[in-house]
A and B are shown apart, each in its own frame.
Chain A
Amino acid sequence: MIEVKDLQKSFGGTPILKGITTTFENGKTSLVIGQSGSGKTVFLKCLLGLFTQDKGSITYDGNIYSQLNTDQKRDLRSKMGMVFQGSALFDSMTIAENVMFPLRMFTKQSKSEMQDRVDFVLKRVNLPDAHNKMPSEASGGMQKRVAIARAIVNNPKYLFCDEPNSGLDPKTAIVIDNLIQEITDEYNITTIINTHDMNSVMEIGEKIVFLKDGLKAWEGSKENIFITDNEVVTDFVYSSELFKKVRKMYLQERNT
């Protein structure tokens, strides 16, 4: 479980996060949503320890991150998997080498064991034949799936995804969403996803945290988001006519 208390962060005197308090539970897919510039990426990078918060605390299963020493922080980070917005694959390595990288760094497995594990996770993300391709030869969707494979290959306790669906077609986006949801259930990991994609919110949002101007404006489940009367949330989530209709239908069905 990840507990965030009064998280504050500013850059050059401009406050980006103004005191966020929330909790992310094990085995659940939590989504952080909000407009561009609302502080989602800074929030995620603070959780990952890539940015140091100005105030507040982040606790990973009882361990307060800021109180850990450098080696303890690195050990904790080795239990994290991260899917970056731009995938961040190592461009000098093949896809198989990218996925194998955490195993080479943190395990004492033999080459054949590592190879088997890479084969397994690449099959798991529906890329059974992509081993020898370079990242530059892969499409955006493939790169995202390789990034997911690399993030889960070492059985992480925490999985973070920064806009995993950005730049993907709706069909591939659903494949990625379902994949993340399945992996979260399968390995009982704490998954936090930053997204703009309302399809993801409706599909896999077991917990949703809505950020606005660096503050938590709302939190709840995907069921709650249909019935909330919080105008800030409804303005953002139901900004398209399609989603307005979906919500109307949901509420009508619920009342009958």
Chain B
Amino acid sequence: MTYLHNIGAYFLMIKDMFRKPTKWSVMKTLIFKDIDDLIMGSLGIVAFISFFVGGVVTIQTALNIDNPLIPKYLVGFATRQSIILEFAPTFISIIMAGKVGSFITSSIGTMRVTEQIDALEVMGINAINYLVFPKFIALMLYPFVISIAMFLGIVGGMAACYFGGYSSINDYIIGIQTDFIPFHIAYAFIKTFAFAFLLATIPSFHGFYMKGGALEVGKASTTAFVWTSVVIILLNYILTQMLLS
């Protein structure tokens, strides 16, 4: 029953997110602040992880291809497919559920604990629109982060190829151009938009409706991370089945 109640409350929160909008002059400032916190603040870690995971994917692929009949360009091909289809959109989103999700839950949760949300509501402000909507809009720029992750993942693979001597740069470039299906990029970005919505709303839900004190803020952040990850993985399966099968 609690799960059903929470699912219902989550959808009601989403409905409230679009009701009685906050004044644009105020909302604009909140959106820019959230773009800075959630998008710009994540670029460093995303770039670092993407570059090195791209490298690791390349090394592992190359080491598993020991048959001389398999062409060397397959390393680039496999890296591209792994990065674009799965690593950048899905696994970066799981990492973002930890980084951005816990930030959202703890900041909104702290506002709940210190009665700042009550203060907003007493003033007649739609607190859900004020707090969640700017995060939702800011995270609509999330595909920009994923584009960088895709690019750096492939560059990381190329660097690993070059420095590890697994294949030549030319072979790698041929590999990343082989059998390229543009819809795979569309598929990755459709997933990214869906995950961005989850990243904005599930942690906000856990922060907004938390009860208790400082300790519960920490617990709510952990719960938000777990649920955001679970829903991302489930939705990833459903979207993949729908779009690629």
Chain A: residues with CB nearer than 8 A to chain B?
Answer: 45, 48-50, 70-71, 73-80, 82, 84-86, 88-91, 101-102, 104-106, 160
Cα distance, A48 to B122, chains bound together (Å): 7
Per a CB cutoff under 8 Å, which of A76, A85, A86 touches B124? A76
Which residue from B25, B114, B126 sits with its C-beta under 8 Å from A86?
B114
- List 11 interface pairs A-B (beta carbons < 8 Å), by A numbering: A49-B122, A70-B20, A77-B124, A79-B124, A88-B115, A88-B116, A88-B119, A104-B25, A105-B22, A105-B23, A106-B123
A82 near B25: Cβ-Cβ < 8 Å: no
- Within 8 Å of chain A (Cβ to Cβ): is B121? yes
Given A75-B124, A77-B121, A106-B124, 11 extra CB contacts under 8 A: A49-B121, A70-B19, A77-B123, A82-B118, A84-B118, A86-B114, A86-B115, A88-B114, A104-B26, A105-B26, A105-B123
| B19 → A minimal CB distance (Å) | 8
Q: Which residues of B contact A78 (CB under 8 A)?
A: 123-124
Q: Please report whether the interface of chain B is mostly helix, strand, loop or mixed according to DSSP.
A: loop
Chain B residues near A104: list those with CB within 8 A: 23, 25-26
Whether A71 touches B122, Cβ cut-off 8 Å, given contacts A91-B114, A104-B25, A104-B26, is: no
Among B9-36, those with CB < 8 Å from A are: 19-20, 22-23, 25-26
Q: Chain A residues with Cβ under 8 A from B118's Cβ?
A: 45, 50, 82, 84, 88
A116 and B124 alpha carbons, distance in the complex (Å): 23
* Closest chain B residue, CB of each to CB of A104: B26
Closest residue of chain B to A50 (Cβ to Cβ) is B118
> Which residues of A have CB within 8 Å of B122?
48-50, 77, 80, 82, 160
Q: Which of B122-174 contact A (CB under 8 A)?
A: 122-126
For the complex, give the distance between the alpha carbons of A48 and B124 in Å: 10
Report Cα–Cα, A70/B115, bound state, in Å. Answer: 21
Across the interface, which residues of B come within 8 angstroms of A88, CB to CB? 114-116, 118-119
Cα-based distance from A84 to B114 in the complex (angstroms): 10
